């Protein structure tokens, strides 16, 4: 080795996936970043032992990748297309900023909205909020635009835990849920691939759990890495998980003596199970205060839910006087009508879903379903308590996890409802050992789940539904995915655009829907840390739509399939080169449940490699050249970069009239953050963070559990009955029909108070039929699974990641059941073509036993045709097979990552041996 | 760095790997690559993705593999230079500056832990700034393997840190593991975490039956997941015949035809020297002919040695191979050559019976050394079988007879006991036939996997016909037929050489699958019959 003159270790964070941040140190020798190591200084406080995962180590090669965009570039070929050479030529930063700044100025000249009322400027980011952790002050620039369309998805909705995000926030302030793993003993996981996707903290906590004796049963069509380390794998037929879940409820409520085995206090006092339901499906309410009624068996009278009720009726039917408060102000007044407790409605609802029925649906023996339900009940230890930081709380060490394809699209509502209901029945929601939410993204404030949990008129948590009433419904979409208009449940926070029907803008660009504003193209589109031409449903079609955008500014690391269509490429400083402070600790998705909270830094480690710039500097320059500097600075001062710089307690605000340097901006943020952390007693600047890496203060673990807060405030879980969903759905149907929109009717049918089972697999069979195909010609279910090594990291072009990922099955091709493959004449490594009704992808056969004979699996997202190195991997991608379609879109605007395919032997040689 | 202090000699560094914790994430693999600056394709720490069973009874397990720092390391005694050593604290070390890249250690390791990289390759095709900064030129052409991050451990101890407790003093794989699946520590300290883990949990060592006493111990049970014994589905021929099964050893590539040529030509030459010596002593072969035959044989051996020299990674360091005659049969082979060649040269000059005898004895020793080199390759089941020395020596003698018969025929040499040559050919042909038959029939019992066995079995007919039947028949004809044409025993000799060369080339370059990896116990988890028992059934 060469003689080293200087060596240092630079502390930074890794937030390449939603499960971050994790902290690491970069070893730098003579200005070259040489190695990554976990930042073990924080091993006692970090819920993942202070470790970083495999992806972090890819950052060295990411930095020194010779394929990096060397300097800003502009397009010289005005024609855009996959087969067109963009003719990118290098330009100076000054010229690049001038071009983009002038374009901003010109675009905003007549106001931020176009003739359809849509923002002229749009921006797309990678999923899960991870880009925000790298984009410095860019959010302030977006804010300064005065309107920006953030609704062009790049896989959002399809690739996330979509139904869980929406219903989870509604039911228990859980944008994402996690088991309280350190106290949990039994987990039923329906395809939840946490050991690939729950980050370091998730893997660390679950490994500890397993060593302690925690049992996990994994129910999924293929044996994932998570299934591998579970005690049992149950190979369920794809997209029939709901049948399994419903049969579990049936086992508990119909086959077993539910009063003896369930948590009766939670059912009777802490849920809406005793609420009386009128004949029209709405709560029976007292006619004066419109409070939902409960039948008290002690004196055989109906009383408001918040009255003193000695013996609430859960079963039967009761003659009751009262009012049903229906949609659009419709009232049904009943002098005496037979009303049933929601729990009785639930019993009626769930009765047909027997284990034998489910066995037929999901190809799992009925007794296996019974056994899982019985284990769940036994392990729930109803009545047990545990002491947490000196406080005695219920201990229900059971959880149910749902994977993405279970959670997304059709059936997602059913699955989330059934899962959350099962946990409610045993009292395992939001208590130690059970299932807890980790953060909120739709409710506000974002940094505290409890503060948003305020009681509403019916005894549940308030929820910021998008209005569906005639007066307040937003008939005209304000952005192209129309989330406020179409999805009441997605609320209207900064995250809502990405959680709306994020694939619809791409679909509508090609096939405009009837009676809908013209789907204009954004005059300017920014894309950052995202590659929708690869990561979207029907990625090839999305690429075609991207090519139609008139002006694209791509923050570019290497050439890729999306920035191939860009007009300007701006090379940003990558992870080891840029400066930013972000929050860490508290409770975050997915299993980052901390006993601390604080701030951490990402800072330049080695010398710069190419002529790139920090995102904050780029944002500032664009604000200045775009003529919106003051609004930009104002947004920073208001906290757009992650921390308010001015509050009633302190003022570290920036002069809003002049541009500020990178260090200056983050120094102010450091001071504001440390002031906030220490109540002004330990205010430090950015240099302190550069040296120490992070700052922490204790955070009580009692904050992890929402139930004590709800109990103290008399708030019930809004389960099992979904009156608000029913009302909003009905009102939304009225609104849409009033403007002639009928293309959302199938989605509107999903607004049921208790979701009924549908044969979800038939949706995809019928889709093949609708498209003119024969379902029998597409005999396989094609699925995808998370690659821990690749996901979110934008690291498909990094050879070292490819090298180590190849040790894990499925990173070399499409996984197919060995016996089934051989019946098709396929052997290991054979080239194959996989076709759906809408697309085609190619790869190599990987023969395994851990997959159902009717299923094939393509891990990760590949099929690259431009990204250097990745384009030579010849890996298949489900995204080339799935279709953009309203038929495959559920009422929340998401879809499942699944499709029917056929697989045939392709041309060419076998895959070369490693 | 490899100095052993008295305190270190009290320690026994090792690892405990919990297969129920490991999720196969490859963080340890890449952390190792960073900490040790390994080049493309080299993974000192690997995690295998193992699947066993048949749908719907399937289990998937991740297995952490790498150098096991065996208490009885088979790689150490075979090293001809002392580049690989074992420290008092158990760490098996590598001295890159002493290694000649002969790969003896690599084929001796039953854990496939060693790699030899001959050519510089870079991740992006051309060297990056970072690759230049962390380049280790001393590692090309020599054996490399996991060191248990010896520098971290030693520097950590020197700094007062506790390996296995303090991450900075712990091997990078264990320190970086995000599932606490890899633990490092001192097995000699009963209070260490690793000692307590193996004390409190059932565990196994990989290939313990080979007597290596590996210092990575695998835990396989949790309260919810009991262990289970191996079944036919786990270890049967079907599973072990699948080259895509990561447990199945791949054919070794360290020794190719260049190495095989040393065994082939070494057997030819040494065999003929021994046979000529015996003919000289007991059958009236004259000394002048003997010395000519010896000179020819010495040339053949020299060509073989030249071939193997072409194969080693650091050619200029070849002389260092004499440094470990205490344990290395390769060193001893060189010493045998060192006696053989002067004895032949002296015999040529002075024609003394004692010199001819010395040459014959040295050739026999040389032949035995070669046989032991292959036999000591514990990592290759087809090589390490107990009968391998007998097979190579018997074949060498057979080849010596064959080559002698050719020489006698070509140069029309006659001597008093010439009739003994075909008789010896018949006898050795039958012995070699019998040994091969025993070798193939006992292959499974000797732990040779189905892939190598298949090659051996399918090649047996070729060998039996060309190497045994035809030459024995021709020798028999020569022995029985007084007026036999001279070419008949010579032709027999040609077939002997073909047969000998064929099987040695076959065993060294084709039926040469490495040991592979193995679970001694599996966690009982998976689907169908492999699923962990129900909680309801626990009582």
Residues A497-552: pLDDT tens digits?
999 998 999 999 988 899 999 889 999 999 999 999 999 999 999 999 999 999 99
Query: What domains sit in chain B, N to C, each tagged with a CATH number?
Result: 11-250+518-522 (3.30.70.20), 257-509 (1.20.1630.10)
Number of residues that this document lists for chain A: 914
Cβ–Cβ < 8 Å for B104, B311: no
Contact A223 B31 (CB under 8 A): no
Cβ–Cβ < 8 Å for A571, A72: yes
Quick one: pLDDT at residue A1? 53
Tokens of B391: 């097979």
Cβ–Cβ < 8 Å for A783, A896: no
Cβ–Cβ < 8 Å for B163, B170: yes
* Residue A771, CA atoms < 13 Å, CB-side half-sphere: 24
Q: What is the mean pLDDT of chain A?
A: 96
Q: Tell me the H-state helices in A473-592.
A: 483-486, 496-499, 504-510, 532-535, 539-547
pLDDT digits (tens, 9 = 90+) for B398-413: 999 999 999 999 999 9
Cβ–Cβ < 8 Å for A737, A709: no
What is the CATH number for A872? 2.40.40.20
Cβ–Cβ < 8 Å for A324, A284: yes
Cβ–Cβ < 8 Å for A396, A708: no
* A886 part of a folded domain: yes
Contacts of B47 in chain A (CB under 8 A): 807
Contact B531 A799 (CB under 8 A): no
CA A614 to chain centre: 27
Mutate one of B18, B27, B132, B220 to test the A interface: name it (highest A CB count within 10 A).
B27
Q: Tell me the H-state helices in B134-256.
A: 150-158, 172-176, 193-200, 232-235, 237-240
Quick one: pLDDT at residue A374? 98
Q: Is B127 an 8 Å CB contact of chain A?
A: no
**How high is the ipTM of this complex?**
0.97
Percent residues over pLDDT 90 in chain A: 96
Rounded to the nearest 5°, which phi and psi values hold at A278? Answer: -80, 175
Quick one: pLDDT at residue A914? 57
pLDDT digits (tens, 9 = 90+) for A117-152: 999 999 999 878 899 999 999 999 999 999 999 999
Determine whether A745 is exposed, middle or buried from the number of CB atoms within 10 Å of its CB (0-12, 13-18, 19+): exposed
CA distance readout (Å), A453 to A6, A133, A448, A467, A712: 53, 27, 9, 19, 11
Residue-number span of the structural domain to which A821 is assigned: 759-905
* A216 part of a folded domain: no
| CA separation for the pair B327, A4 (Å, rounded) | 39
* Residue A492, CA atoms < 13 Å, CB-side half-sphere: 14
CB atoms within 10 A of CB A660: 21
Nearest-CA distance A232 → chain B (Å) = 5
Quick one: pLDDT at residue B538? 58
| CA separation for the pair A442, A483 (Å, rounded) | 13
Cβ–Cβ < 8 Å for A631, A108: no
Q: Is B61 an 8 Å CB contact of chain A?
A: yes
pLDDT digits (tens, 9 = 90+) for B43-101: 999 999 999 999 999 999 999 999 999 999 999 999 999 999 999 999 999 999 999 99
* A802 part of a folded domain: yes
Region for residue B285 given its phi and psi (left: phi exceeds 0; alpha: psi -120 to 50; beta: otherwise): beta
Averaged pLDDT, A187-214: 97
Mutate one of B39, B43, B51, B60 to test the A interface: name it (highest A CB count within 10 A).
B60
| CA separation for the pair A602, A607 (Å, rounded) | 15
Strand order in the sheet with A524-528: A89-90, A73-74, A568-570, A552-555, A524-528, A121-125
Q: Tell me the H-state helices in A626-756.
A: 629-637, 662-678, 686-692, 707-712, 723-738, 745-748
Mutate one of A22, A211, A397, A398 to test the B interface: name it (highest B CB count within 10 A).
A211
**Which of A575, A605, A17 lies closest to B25, judged by CA?**
A17
Contact B20 A379 (CB under 8 A): no
| CA separation for the pair B505, A233 (Å, rounded) | 46
* A796 part of a folded domain: yes
| CA separation for the pair B471, B480 (Å, rounded) | 14
* A27 part of a folded domain: no
CB atoms within 10 A of CB A611: 14
Contact A231 B224 (CB under 8 A): yes
| CA separation for the pair B265, B302 (Å, rounded) | 8
Tokens of A626: 């775009």
Quick one: pLDDT at residue A904? 97
* Residue A767, CA atoms < 13 Å, CB-side half-sphere: 23
| CA separation for the pair B5, B440 (Å, rounded) | 49
Helix H or strand E encompassing A12: strand A7-14
| CA separation for the pair A615, A626 (Å, rounded) | 16
Residue the block writes with tokens 């109803």? A382
Averaged pLDDT, A659-686: 98
Quick one: pLDDT at residue B4? 41
Averaged pLDDT, A585-598: 94
> What global pTM score does this model have?
0.97
Residue the block writes with tokens 């940003």? A572
* A765 part of a folded domain: yes
CB atoms within 10 A of CB A335: 8
* A858 part of a folded domain: yes
Contact B178 A186 (CB under 8 A): no
Tally of structural domains, chain A: 1
Per-residue pLDDT for A694 more than 70? yes
Q: Is B532 an 8 Å CB contact of chain A?
A: yes
Contact B33 A60 (CB under 8 A): no
Residues of chain B falling short of pLDDT 50: 1-6, 539
Per-residue pLDDT for A290 more than 90? yes
Question: How open is the CA angle B267-B268-B274, to the nearest 5 degrees?
Answer: 80
Q: How far separated are the first and last CA of chain B, in Å rounded?
A: 55
Q: Is A228 an 8 Å CB contact of chain B?
A: yes
| CA separation for the pair A62, A59 (Å, rounded) | 5
| CA separation for the pair A714, A455 (Å, rounded) | 8
Per residue, the 3-state secondary structure of A134-160, as one string, reads CCCCHHHHHHHCCCCECCCCCCCCCCC
Contacts of B30 in chain A (CB under 8 A): 54, 57-58, 800-801, 804
Q: Is B526 an 8 Å CB contact of chain A?
A: yes
* A38 part of a folded domain: no
Is residue A4 very low, low, confident or very high in pLDDT (cuts 50, 70, 90)?
confident
| CA separation for the pair A388, A608 (Å, rounded) | 48
Q: Check residue A254 and report its DSSP letter.
A: I
């Amino acid at each position: 080795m060469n003689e080293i003159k200087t060596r240092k270790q630079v502390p930074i964070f890794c937030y390449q996936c939603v499960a971050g941040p994790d902290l690491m140190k970069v070893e730098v020798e003579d200005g070259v970043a040489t190695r990554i190591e976990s930042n073990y200084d924080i091993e006692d406080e970090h819920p993942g032992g202070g470790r970083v995962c495999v992806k972090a180590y890819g950052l060295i090669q990411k930095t020194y990748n010779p394929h990096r965009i060397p300097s800003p570039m502009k397009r010289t070929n005005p024609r855009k297309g996959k087969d067109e050479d963009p003719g990118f030529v290098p330009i100076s930063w000054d010229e690049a900023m001038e071009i983009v700044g002038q374009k901003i100025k010109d675009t905003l000249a007549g106001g931020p909205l176009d003739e359809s009322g849509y923002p002229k400027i749009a921006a797309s980011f990678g999923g899960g909020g991870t880009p925000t952790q790298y984009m410095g002050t860019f959010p302030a620039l977006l804010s300064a635009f005065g309107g920006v369309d953030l609704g062009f998805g790049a896989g959002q909705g399809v690739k996330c835990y979509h139904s869980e995000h929406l219903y989870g926030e509604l039911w228990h302030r859980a944008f994402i849920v996690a088991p309280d793993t350190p106290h949990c003993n039994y987990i039923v996981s329906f395809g939840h691939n946490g050991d690939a996707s729950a980050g370091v903290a998730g893997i660390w906590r679950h490994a500890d759990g397993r060593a302690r004796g925690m049992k996990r049963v994994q129910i999924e069509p293929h044996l994932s890495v998570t299934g591998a380390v579970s005690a049992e794998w149950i190979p369920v037929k794809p997209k029939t998980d709901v049948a399994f879940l419903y049969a579990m409820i049936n086992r508990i409520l119909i086959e077993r003596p539910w009063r003896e085995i369930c948590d009766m206090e939670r059912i009777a006092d802490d849920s809406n199970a005793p609420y009386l339901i009128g004949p029209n499906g709405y709560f029976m309410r007292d006619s004066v205060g419109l409070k939902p009624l409960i039948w008290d068996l002690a004196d055989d009278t109906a009383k408001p839910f918040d009255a003193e009720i000695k013996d609430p009726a859960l079963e039967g039917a009761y003659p009751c006087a009262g009012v049903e408060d229906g949609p659009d102000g419709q009232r049904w007044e009943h002098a005496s009508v037979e009303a049933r407790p929601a729990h009785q409605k639930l019993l009626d609802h769930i009765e047909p879903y027997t284990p034998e029925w489910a066995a037929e649906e999901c190809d799992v023996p009925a007794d296996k379903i019974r056994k899982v339900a019985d284990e769940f009940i036994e392990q729930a230890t109803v009545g047990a308590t545990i002491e947490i930081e000196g406080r005695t709380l219920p201990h229900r060490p059971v959880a149910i996890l749902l994977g993405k394809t279970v959670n997304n699209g059709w059936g997602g509502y059913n699955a989330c409802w059934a899962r959350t209901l099962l946990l409610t029945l045993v009292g395992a929601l939001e208590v130690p050992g059970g299932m807890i939410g980790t953060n909120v993204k739709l409710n506000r404030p974002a940094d505290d789940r409890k503060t948003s949990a305020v009681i509403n008129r019916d005894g549940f948590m308030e929820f910021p539904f998008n209005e569906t009433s005639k007066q307040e419904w937003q008939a005209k979409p304000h952005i192209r995915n129309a989330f406020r208009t179409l999805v009441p449940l997605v609320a209207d926070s900064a995250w809502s655009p990405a959680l709306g029907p994020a694939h619809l803008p791409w679909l509508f660009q090609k096939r405009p829907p009837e009676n809908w504003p013209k789907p204009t193209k954004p005059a300017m589109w920014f894309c950052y840390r995202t590659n929708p031409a690869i990561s979207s449903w029907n990625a090839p079609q999305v690429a075609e739509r991207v090519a139609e955008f008139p002006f694209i500014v791509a923050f570019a690391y290497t050439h890729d399939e999306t920035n191939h269509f860009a007009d300007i490429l701006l090379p940003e400083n990558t992870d080891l080169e840029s400066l930013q402070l972000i929050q860490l600790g508290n409770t975050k998705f997915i299993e980052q449940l901390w006993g601390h909270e604080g701030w951490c830094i990402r800072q330049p480690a080695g010398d710069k490699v190419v002529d790139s710039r920090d995102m904050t500097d780029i944002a500032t320059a664009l604000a200045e050249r775009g003529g919106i500097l003051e609004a930009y600075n104002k947004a920073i001062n208001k906290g757009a970069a992650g921390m308010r710089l001015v509050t009633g307690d302190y003022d570290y605000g920036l002069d809003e009239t002049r541009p500020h340097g990178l260090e200056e901006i983050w120094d102010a943020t450091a001071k504001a953050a440390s002031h906030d952390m220490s109540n002004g007693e330990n205010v430090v600047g950015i240099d302190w963070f550069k040296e120490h890496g992070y700052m922490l203060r204790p955070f009580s673990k009692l904050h992890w559990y929402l139930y004590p807060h709800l109990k103290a405030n008399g708030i019930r879980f809004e389960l099992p009955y979904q009156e608000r969903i029913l009302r909003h759905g009905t009102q939304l149907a009225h609104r849409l029909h009033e403007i002639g929109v009928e293309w959302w009717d199938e989605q509107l049918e999903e607004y049921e108070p208790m979701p009924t089972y549908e044969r979800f697999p038939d949706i995809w069979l019928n889709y093949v039929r609708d498209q003119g195909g024969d379902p029998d010609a597409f005999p396989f279910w094609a699925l995808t699974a998370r690659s821990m090594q690749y996901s979110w990291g934008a690291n498909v072009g990094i050879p070292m990641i490819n090298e180590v990922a190849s040790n894990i099955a499925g990173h070399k091709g499409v996984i197919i059941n060995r016996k089934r493959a051989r019946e098709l004449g396929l052997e290991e490594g054979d080239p194959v073509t996989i076709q759906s009704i809408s697309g085609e992808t190619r790869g190599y056969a990987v023969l395994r036993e851990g997959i159902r004979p009717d299923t094939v699996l393509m891990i990760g997202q590949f099929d690259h045709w431009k990204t250097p190195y990745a384009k030579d991997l010849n890996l298949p991608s489900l995204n080339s097979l799935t279709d953009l379609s309203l038929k495959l879109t559920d009422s929340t605007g998401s879809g499942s990552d699944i499709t029917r395919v056929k697989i045939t032997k392709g041309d060419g040689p076998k895959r070369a041996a490693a | 760095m490899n100095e052993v202090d008295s305190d270190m000699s009290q320690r026994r560094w090792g690892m405990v790997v919990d297969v129920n914790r490991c999720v196969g994430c490859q963080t340890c693999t890449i952390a190792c690559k960073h900490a040790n600056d390994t080049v493309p394709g080299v993974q000192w720490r690997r995690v295998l993705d193992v699947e066993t069973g048949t749908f719907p009874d399937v289990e998937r397990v991740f297995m952490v593999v790498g150098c096991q720092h065996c208490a009885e390391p088979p790689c150490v005694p075979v090293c001809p230079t002392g580049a690989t050593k074992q420290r008092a604290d158990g760490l098996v070390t590598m001295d890159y500056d002493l290694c000649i890249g002969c790969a003896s250690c690599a084929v001796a390791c039953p854990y496939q832990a060693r790699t030899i990289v001959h050519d510089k390759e870079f991740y992006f095709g051309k060297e990056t700034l970072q690759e230049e900064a962390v380049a280790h030129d001393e590692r090309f052409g020599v054996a490399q393997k996991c060191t248990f991050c010896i520098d971290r451990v030693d520097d950590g101890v020197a700094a007062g840190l506790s390996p296995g407790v303090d991450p900075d003093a712990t091997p990078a794989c264990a320190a970086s593991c995000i599932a606490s699946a890899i633990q490092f520590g001192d097995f000699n300290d009963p209070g260490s975490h690793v000692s307590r883990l193996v004390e409190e949990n059932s565990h196994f060592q990989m290939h313990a039956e080979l007597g290596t006493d590996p210092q990575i111990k695998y835990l396989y049970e949790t309260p919810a997941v009991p262990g289970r014994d191996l079944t036919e589905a786990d270890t049967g021929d079907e599973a072990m015949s699948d080259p895509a099964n990561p447990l199945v050893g791949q054919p070794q590539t360290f020794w190719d035809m260049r190495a095989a040529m040393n065994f082939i030509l070494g057997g030819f030459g040494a065999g003929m020297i021994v046979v000529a010596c015996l003919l000289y002593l007991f059958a009236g072969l004259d000394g002048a002919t003997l010395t000519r035959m010896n000179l020819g044989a010495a040339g053949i051996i020299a060509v073989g040695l030249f071939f193997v020299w072409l194969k080693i990674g650091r050619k200029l360091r070849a002389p260092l191979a004499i440094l470990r005659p205490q344990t290395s049969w390769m060193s001893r082979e060189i010493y045998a050559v060192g006696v053989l060649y002067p004895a032949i040269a002296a015999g040529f000059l002075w024609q003394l019976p004692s010199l001819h005898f010395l040459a014959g004895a040295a050739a026999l020793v040389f032949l035995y050394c070669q046989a032991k080199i292959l036999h000591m390759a514990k990592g290759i089941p087809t090589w390490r079988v107990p009968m391998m020395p007998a097979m190579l020596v018997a074949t060498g003698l057979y080849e010596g007879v064959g080559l002698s018969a050719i020489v006698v025929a070509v140069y029309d040499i006659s001597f008093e006991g010439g009739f003994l040559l075909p008789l010896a050919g018949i006898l050795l042909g039958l012995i070699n036939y019998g040994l091969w038959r025993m070798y193939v029939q006992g292959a499974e019992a000797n732990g040779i996997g189905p892939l190598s066995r298949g090659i051996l079995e399918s090649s047996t007919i070729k060998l039996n016909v060309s190497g045994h039947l035809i030459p024995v028949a021709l020798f028999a004809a020569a022995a029985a037929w007084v007026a036999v044409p001279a070419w008949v025993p010579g032709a027999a000799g040609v077939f002997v050489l073909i047969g000998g060369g064929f099987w040695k080339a076959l065993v060294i370059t084709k039926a040469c699958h490495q040991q592979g990896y193995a679970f001694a116990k599996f966690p009982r988890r998976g689907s169908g019959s492999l699923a962990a028992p129900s909680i309801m059934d626990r009582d």
